[in-house]
Amino acid sequence: MTISPEAWQAIGLTLQLATATTIVLLLIATPLAWWLSQTDSSLRAPIGALVTLPLVLPPTVLGFYILLLLGPEGLVGEITKALGLGLLSFSFSGLLIGSVIFSLPFAVQPIQYAFEAIGRRPMEVAATLRARPIDAFFSVALPLARPGLLTATVLTFAHTVGEFGVVLMIGGNIPGETRVVSTQIYGHVEAMEYRQAHGLAAGMVLFSFVVLITLARLKKRTDRILP
């Protein structure tokens, strides 16, 4: 079974997208999860629901609205045009924005749970040991939440690799630009190229299996660290 250059291209693009999404999401999700885990604000419930929304919405719905937003008539589209960036729909950047929104709950929730499991005590201890809040966050909260951060990383990466609906809606299926493994498989099946579809599909099954084993390992460690 040989892997075609188009397939390699799709795999490369998928990994690129998943890596970029994971990095961007960890930077966004960590402070967001911290705020959700600490606040008594009345905004907590609505913001928490918004973060979770991508989990229950059909990817096509999400993709549709993101497409409108990024498109020539959309708010983001107007801004990117005014900035001379052109339109982000049907581009890698657009795909990245869609993926970040789509995977948001997969990053926020494990980190939020980890912060909640730590409780307030370690931060109070850090404060009595003269650590200012930002110092305590980096030297105490983040290291203690490491299992949650690792879980978020693995889940986000895997979820991005596996997404289809949002990618198809926002990215189209442009080879080398927005065609990822899942849409490539779809293309193969459409064209009745079952053999090529098989190669990629089997790869995805294997990948998902490894991800689940990794998560199980992480969970075991989390249990040990956080009673």
Q: Which residues contact 210 (CB under 8 A, 6 or more apart)?
A: none
Q: How far apart are CA 112 and CA 217, in angstroms?
A: 19
Q: How far apart are CA 210 and CA 98, in angstroms?
A: 25
Asked if 14 and 180 count as a contact pair (C-beta separation under 8 A), the reply is yes
Closest-CA residue to 140 (of 128, 125, 153)? 125
Q: Is 132 in the site for another protein (CB under 8 A)?
A: yes
Closest-CA residue to 149 (of 88, 208, 107, 99)? 107
Asked if 223 and 111 count as a contact pair (C-beta separation under 8 A), the reply is no
Q: Which DSSP letter does residue 71 get? A: S
Q: Nearer Cβ to another protein, position 81 or 146?
A: 146
- What is the smallest separation between the CB atom of 143 and another protein, expressed in angstroms? 4
List the interface residues with another protein, window 64-123 (CB under 8 A): 121-122
- What is the smallest separation between the CB atom of 214 and another protein, expressed in angstroms? 21
List the interface residues with another protein, window 144-163 (CB under 8 A): 144, 146
Stretch that binds another protein, among 25-33, 125-133, 174-182, 196-204 (CB under 8 A): 125-133
- What is the smallest separation between the CB atom of 133 and another protein, expressed in angstroms? 7
Q: Nearer Cβ to another protein, position 125 or 213?
A: 125
- What is the smallest separation between the CB atom of 131 and another protein, expressed in angstroms? 6
Closest-CA residue to 153 (of 52, 11, 21, 16)? 21
Q: Nearer Cβ to another protein, position 53 or 226?
A: 226
Q: Nearer Cβ to another protein, position 136 or 166?
A: 136
Point out which residues bind another protein (CB under 8 A). 121-122, 124-133, 135-136, 139-140, 143-144, 146, 225
